[in-house]
Structure formats: C-alpha cells, structure tokens
A and B are shown apart, each in its own frame.
Chain A
Amino acid sequence: MTGKSLEIRNVSKIYRIGGLIGATKIAAVDRVNLSLSLEAGQAQVLSLVGESGSGKTTLARMILHLVQPTHGEIIIDGMNTGGRLSRSQLRIFRRRAQPIFQNPFESFSSRKTVDSYLFETARNILGAKSKADAYKAVDEALVNVGLSAERVIGRYPNQFSGGELQRISVARAMIPHPELLVADEPVSMIDASMRMNVVNLFKKLRDEFNVTILYITHDLSTAYYVSDRIAIMYRGNIVESGPSAAVLKKPVHPYTELLLDSVAKIGEKWGEVVRLPDMETKEYGYVGCKFAERCPYVRDICRKVKPPMVAAEDGREVLCFKPVDYEDVEQKQVTK
C-alpha cells in the first residue's frame, strides 16, 4: 500500500504457558489483520475493545515494538517493525509511534521530577540540539494538553492528580510529533471527574494535530464517545470492526451484543443472567469459533470451522457464521 499507514498483516503472538513439560501454547493474538491510514488529513481514533485476555494489549505492544510477533508483519510507513530494528531505525520508529500507558502513577518515577521525562524525549527522540530548543518543544507540548511548563517543571509526580499526570504523559508522547499514538487503557486509573478531560484531549489531538490514536480500552462508553472506528477483540481475534456508531448501536457479532448488554448502565436494569466461562484458557485452543461455548446462536459448524470474516455494507466486518446463514458457508469451505 502506498502512502503513510499502519498495516498489520496476519499477525500472531503465541505464548507458552506452564513449565518445560506439559506446557500449553496460547495464541494471545491469532492471525489479526488491521490497516490504518496515517496520511495527513485522515487522522482518526480507533478503539480496540476487549476483555482481559483478549489480546488487545499484546497487539498494542507489538505495534509499539515492545513485543515481537511470532508470525506476520507490522508495517508502519513502509518500515517492517516486526523484526529487529537498528538504532537509527528505532529512532525513526519512535518519532512515528508513541505510547501512553495505563497507570500514570507507575509511568513516572516518584524520585524524578516529571519534566525530566519530557526533556529526555525532546533530546533523544525529537533530537533537540540546545536547551532552549528542548524547552520550547516541552512547553509547546504542555500547552497543547492544557498545562504549561511553569506549572510542571521542577515538580514530582505526587504533586499532580492522576488526570494531570496522564495529560503530562500525553504531552510527552506528542513532543516528537508522532503520526500514531497507542494509548493502552489510558483512563482506567483516573477518577470519573477527570476522565473526560483526558478523553476530550484525544479528540483535540486528532482534529488539531492530525494524529491517529489507537485507543485500547474495555470501557465501551468512552470508546463510543471518542472513536471513529472500533474493533472488538475476543480471545486473540478481532470479531467485529467498523464505524463505532454502527457497531455499538447495532452489534452483529453475538459477543459484541453480550458486551453491550453487560455494561452497568444508568437508567436501564439488567435482564436475565449471563453465562460465564468456567475455564477460560481452553477457549484459546478451539478450532472453530472461540465464542462458540458461550454463544446463544451456536450451531455445530461453529465448533468445527473457523468462521469467515464477513463484510457488510456499512463498512463493518464480522467474524461469524450467523450473518451468512451457517449452511452456505459450510459448503463453500468444504469445496475449497
């Protein structure tokens, strides 16, 4: 593909669980395909939603070059970052993609002033030559997140609230003017009264600075609020993806349906009881659909054959037999 983009092609990450003997293999991410344009003017927020163990964090860490994929390619602007990178390649990569982590209280050491992280990023990644240049870059980034250098420099993490610290992490990530921000559960540790300040910041960055944001979360309501596109993950597969309003207002995959039903909403009480998995690790090993055991619409074929990725008109894709009428697809699979 030409132009700037993030291409995830058939990426898997397989972990071994257990000791030397009797170890089981788990595909934390199982043959995932995803592509995101990073072209100027096309910036968007993509939410990656799933429960713990769905592989969303593993996928994010692979995109950030913190974990190597077992199979497949991850290509950012034509550079394959799936394998080893040289020092100079790494520097280029870090200018393109920057992380924001979950717990702002852990991402800053309590013994260092927070500005040291900002200046290090300005020097090492942006490549600021002089102190004045670095200061300018840091101040600019802080102003963009609603803070200022005066308020931040010389202070320690315990002098900020969680919301402020997370905004400082966003400012740090924005210093090298990246094309892609990967934010892993950025608001889950932040109090409700300050959460929206951070979430609104993502919208602002997308609109004003043209940065594409991969927003990883298990919270459907902020995902709905902030994102243009959404991808729902379950046990290593993306089971449904598409425009977030369409997917969340009218889910097609039974798992998306279950997720939406399970949100502790205000104004609408829960209906009947849901079925919870007994032994979750087993599900990774299923040959067919990994949601089969919990799915209310399950048929025989779902347990035997991996479901197809079905495209729908509204731009969404669903990994399920149900929308294509179980039977037909089975025959196609057999004749192949």
Chain B
Amino acid sequence: MIRIKHLSAHYQTVQGTVKATEDVAFDIFDNEILGIAGESGCGKTTLMKAIYGNVEPPMFIASGSIELEVEELGEQKIIPNHEIHRYWWDYISYIPQASMSVLNPVVRIKDQFLDSYLRAEVRALGKQALLDRMAAYLQELELPPEVLNAFPHQLSGGMRQRVIVALATFVHPKFVLADEPTTALDVVVQRGILTMLMNLQKQLHNTFVIVSHDMGVHYQITDRMVIMYAGKVAEIARTDVLFERPQHPYTEMLINSLPRVGDDQQRAGIGGRPPSLLNPPGGCRFADRCYLADAYCRQVQPDLVEVEPGHFVACLKRAPSLALTTTESSHRGDAGK
C-alpha cells in the first residue's frame, strides 16, 4: 500500500510559495480503484506527482512524507518518497495528463517503449521476444497489434490513449496512477477506456489511482474516493457511500451541480472561486462559497473526522471535531485574518 503522511507539497514561485497541497493524509490500499476528484487547482496533479516521487523544482515537499510499501524477494520493505523513482514501471507507473501529446511524433510507438522503460526487459528477453509478448498483450486487450509499428500521429486520440494505458500496465505494476485519463476524449471512447481499466484491475488485482474532475467517471469505476478542495482533503469515503450520503457541502455541490439527460430541474453554479493558494485563508477553505458557513468556519481549520467507518469529512458543521481548539488550527486562524 501507499501511505500519504501529512504531506504538504508546495511550489516556489516569484510571488511566493504556492501551497498546492497541505497536510494531506490518507492511505491507498492494495487491490482497489481509488478516485481523486476536485477542480482545477485543487492539488490533485501535485499529489500524483508527489506519490510518484517525481518532485522537481519549483515543486518541493515542505513537510510530511509518502511511503510505498513493496515486497521484494519475499520481504516487506518501506520505500521513502525520494527513492520511489527506483521502482518506477515495475511497481508504480504513471499515465500523465495529456499523455496523448507526450509521445515523440517521429519515433514509432514500439521504439518509444523499448528504448525507455522496457530496457531491462529487452536485455533479459531479447527484442523480438518482447515485441511478440507486447503484441499478444495488446490483442488480449482487443487492440490491433499493428499499432506498435505506427507513428503516434497515425492513431486517433482515443487509440493512442488506449495504447498508452495498455503499455503502462504491460509489466503488471502494483500501482498505476492515471491523471485525467479520459478528459479530452469523447463519451464513447471514454467508456471504452474506462471499461478497459476496470477489466485490467480485475485481472491484475493491482491498484489504480484515477484523477478526474468528472464525478460520473468516479461513479462508474472507482471503489473509494478522495475529494479535494484548494489543496486539502474535504472528504474520503467508499464511492457508493459518497454518492448516497455526501457530508461535505462541496461534495454535495460536485454531485448535484451538473444537469442530467432527462432531468428538467433548474441548476445553478456556485459563486466565487477557490482561494489563492499563495496565501490561503486561515479557516475552512470552502467557507466563502459554502451555504453552511459562519464566522466560526472562517477562523478554524476543520480536521478530517471519521463520521462512520471509513468515511472521513473535514467540515465543522457536518462533522464537528473533538479537537476543535488545537493550537495548530487556532494559530493558523489568527494568521489568516
């Protein structure tokens, strides 16, 4: 499993430090599809980069850590975040956002994979044997094996994305992180790719972490969800529980804001915008846009509170914390004023 321990990952910019994620803490279990939802700028991509151990300036880890638990030669080992990169591809692989455009346009698909992450496998098996296995693997996933010989521009966006997902799981990594894997794609192709991800997970019994702003996508494929808002975790729950009884007002809004086909109800967006992460407010970060918020919410930071087994909420109104007046939060509350 992966343990995220009170992680604060920030960016150093000319204007100051952007606190992209702050005090994020949750576990990613084995054999699950975990969804991370939230809007642009809520820190989901930053969190993914940190989990993947790909921390490069201007991003840095201000406090906290991430631990990857791996089994090597029958032994349980805990890998700290600065060493995660040694386990890339074999244990943990990452499908970045806009991965359709990360491919080199003048190199055939197969060469891009053979020359980069499969070098160890090429040495062990030989190039041709490996290519045969890749072709067989693609066929298993109902993709035409000819795509290996194609240049990226010869494939449609949806096909490219499917090939990337397939090849990223080729060596059966324990963890696959996918950042907005279907965002630029059409509904039909999106459905195809998500179904493929679900089937892969069932086959491999590994863990997928899916970042998406689309709650429909989460409903369809994830087992558990983390809702983020302005760099902090707002709610964590099993997906069915989250949709049935969302506790955080922001989660409610994410689920209910968009219309559905066949539903004639009038809908309204919510006013305001997320706070600047250069200088986040002292209290609850959603307070300015929340219909429940009062003066108290603007002063005190809510902690994540377990309201039922496995269901955590950070809201002073819905889940009043037992430790409301911890020195930490009251201190921050004063600083923000």
Q: Which residues of A contact B (CB under 8 A)?
A: 51-53, 161-164, 191-200, 218, 220-222, 224-225, 248-249, 258-267, 269-270, 273-274, 276-278, 280-281
A184 to chain B, nearest CB (A): 15
Indicate whether B243 reaches chain A with its CB closer than 8 angstroms. yes
Assuming the A-B contacts A193-B253, A266-B260, are A225 and B267 also in contact, with contact meaning beta carbons closer than 8 angstroms in the complex?
Answer: yes
Number of interface residues of B (CB under 8 A): 42
B35 to chain A, nearest CB (A): 12
Assuming the A-B contacts A192-B39, A193-B253, A196-B257, are A262 and B187 also in contact, with contact meaning beta carbons closer than 8 angstroms in the complex?
Answer: yes
Contacts of B268 in A (CB 8 A): 196-197, 200
Contacts of A264 in B (CB 8 A): 187, 190-191, 194, 214, 216-217, 219-220
B 6-29 to A, binary, CB cutoff 8 A, 1 in contact else 0: 000000000000000000000000
Contacts of B260 in A (CB 8 A): 221, 224, 265-266
Cβ-defined contact, B188 with A259, below 8 A: yes
Distance A192 CA – B188 CA, assembled complex (angstroms): 21
Q: Which 6 A-B pairs have the closest CB atoms?
A: A264-B216, A51-B186, A196-B269, A225-B259, A197-B269, A191-B39
Indicate whether B40 reaches chain A with its CB closer than 8 angstroms. yes
Q: Which residues of B contact A (CB under 8 A)?
A: 39-40, 144, 156-159, 162, 185-192, 194-195, 213-217, 219-220, 243, 253-255, 257-262, 267-271, 273, 289
8 inter-chain pairs at a CB distance below 8 angstroms, sorted by A residue, are A52-B185, A196-B259, A200-B267, A224-B261, A248-B261, A267-B219, A269-B219, A281-B156
Contacts of A163 in B (CB 8 A): 269, 273
Contacts of B267 in A (CB 8 A): 196, 200, 225
B290 to chain A, nearest CB (A): 11
Contacts of B253 in A (CB 8 A): 193
Distance A195 CA – B269 CA, assembled complex (angstroms): 6
Main secondary structure of the interface of A (DSSP, over half): helix
Cβ-defined contact, B273 with A161, below 8 A: yes
Cβ-defined contact, B189 with A221, below 8 A: no
Cβ-defined contact, B258 with A221, below 8 A: yes
Contacts of B39 in A (CB 8 A): 191-193
Assuming the A-B contacts A263-B261, A276-B192, are A218 and B187 also in contact, with contact meaning beta carbons closer than 8 angstroms in the complex?
Answer: yes
Cβ-defined contact, A276 with B189, below 8 A: yes
